[in-house]
């Protein structure tokens, strides 16, 4: 399948208007999509659908000619691709052609010679430079870090986390790169992040969760904040299917 890319002066043309995720109800809820260059935090408990939604966001972007990058810190690449092959939205050719780049953050850390457990301020700065360079050189328009929790775990203080996430978000915005940072939170707890600072730096928060009803766990989806956009904060039921990937439908009051 061929996807068209608009190129200006050798670089992918900047999107006009919002960054369309291709997830219908999400785009509708945001009046077209995520604001260009925003950094969105996506908290969700284990199995809530963070990785799947992020990959669908990148794949949909690549199909519109926008190059994407997926930094994983939670699953090895071979497992990630194997899991995604079960979805019909997944197109292996987009990875092979370089429209989507999958990078294991641990490999970058290793190549930079960073301590795998704890980063110093210099380590954090070196990592930041490498991430910026990759985004710039590859002309990336959509970026995912899965998860920012695993990355922040290596930073030693809240100040370092705040500084790192803020600088990363600012650099990506300057490059018109729209990003999603997943955040690991405990199940059925209304909490956005592990360290309590990530949510204040993010431009938006999209929360994935689950509620229990008659012994079933129903996945939920809710836009909590999106700076600069008037949006609803309706809780949706989120379904994951091989055929359509992420599907959202208003949560029936009786399901709550």
Ligand X SMILES: Nc1ncnc2c1ncn2[C@@H]1O[C@H](COP(=O)(O)OP(=O)(O)OP(=O)(O)O)[C@@H](O)[C@H]1O
* Residues of this chain that bind Mg ion (CB under 5 A): 50-51
CB of 46 to Mg ion, least distance (A): 8
CB-wise, 51 or 101, nearer to Mg ion? 51
CB of 116 to ligand X, least distance (A): 20
Residues of this chain that interact with ligand X (CB under 6 A) are 44, 46-52, 74, 83, 86-87, 240-242
Q: Residue 16 carries which DSSP code?
A: S
Residue 38 binds: one of ligand X, Mg ion, none (C-beta under 5 to 8 A by kind): none
Cα–Cα–Cα angle for 127, 128, 132, rounded to 5 degrees: 120
- d(CA 211, CA 256) in angstroms, rounded, equals 7
CB-wise, 48 or 101, nearer to ligand X? 48
Q: 3-state class of 18 per DSSP?
A: coil
CB-wise, 170 or 241, nearer to ligand X? 241
CB-wise, 14 or 242, nearer to ligand X? 242
CB of 183 to Mg ion, least distance (A): 11
Residue 14 binds: one of Mg ion, ligand X, none (C-beta under 5 to 8 A by kind): none
- d(CA 74, CA 148) in angstroms, rounded, equals 10
Cα–Cα–Cα angle for 194, 144, 91, rounded to 5 degrees: 135
Q: In sequence order, what are the beta bridge partners of 183?
A: 43
CB of 11 to Mg ion, least distance (A): 31
In this chain, which residue has its C-beta nearest to ligand X? Answer: 86
Sheet of 178-184: strands edge to edge? Answer: 100-104, 68-72, 142-146, 178-184, 39-44, 204-213, 216-226, 236-241, 245-250
- d(CA 184, CA 198) in angstroms, rounded, equals 11
Residue 217 binds: one of Mg ion, ligand X, none (C-beta under 5 to 8 A by kind): none
Per-residue burial over 142-180, b = 16 or more CB atoms within 10 Å of its CB, e = otherwise: bbbbbbbbbbbbbbeeeebbbbbbbbbbebbbebebbbb
CB-wise, 84 or 229, nearer to Mg ion? 84
CB of 46 to ligand X, least distance (A): 4
In this chain, which residue has its C-beta nearest to Mg ion? Answer: 51
- d(CA 182, CA 170) in angstroms, rounded, equals 17
CB-wise, 82 or 227, nearer to ligand X? 82
Residue 240 binds: one of Mg ion, ligand X, none (C-beta under 5 to 8 A by kind): ligand X
Q: In sequence order, what are the beta bridge partners of 238?
A: 248
Residue 242 binds: one of Mg ion, ligand X, none (C-beta under 5 to 8 A by kind): ligand X
Residue 49 binds: one of Mg ion, ligand X, none (C-beta under 5 to 8 A by kind): ligand X
């Amino acid at each position: 399948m061929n996807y068209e890319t608009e190129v200006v002066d050798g670089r992918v043309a900047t999107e006009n208007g919002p960054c369309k995720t291709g997830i219908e109800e999400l785009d509708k809820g945001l009046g077209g999509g995520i604001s260009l260059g925003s950094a969105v935090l996506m908290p969700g408990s284990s199995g809530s659908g963070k990785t799947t939604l992020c990959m669908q966001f990148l794949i949909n972007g690549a199909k519109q000619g926008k190059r994407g990058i997926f930094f994983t810190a939670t699953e090895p690449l071979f497992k990630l691709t194997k899991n995604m092959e079960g979805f019909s939205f997944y197109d292996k050719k987009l990875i092979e052609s370089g429209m989507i780049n999958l990078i294991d953050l641990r490999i970058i850390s290793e190549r930079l010679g960073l301590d795998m457990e704890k980063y110093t301020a210099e380590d954090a700065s070196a990592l930041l430079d490498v991430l910026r360079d990759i985004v710039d050189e590859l002309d990336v328009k959509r970026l995912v870090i899965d998860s920012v929790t695993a990355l922040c775990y290596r930073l030693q203080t809240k100040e370092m986390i705040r500084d790192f996430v803020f600088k990363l978000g600012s650099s990506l915005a300057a490059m018109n790169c729209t990003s999603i940072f997943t955040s690991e939170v405990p199940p059925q707890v209304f909490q956005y992040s592990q360290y309590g600072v990530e949510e204040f730096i993010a431009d938006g928060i999209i929360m994935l969760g689950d509620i229990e009803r008659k012994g079933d766990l129903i996945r939920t989806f809710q836009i909590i904040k999106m700076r600069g956009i008037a949006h609803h904060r309706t809780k949706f039921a989120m379904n994951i299917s091989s055929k359509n990937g992420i599907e959202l439908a208003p949560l029936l009051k009786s399901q709550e």
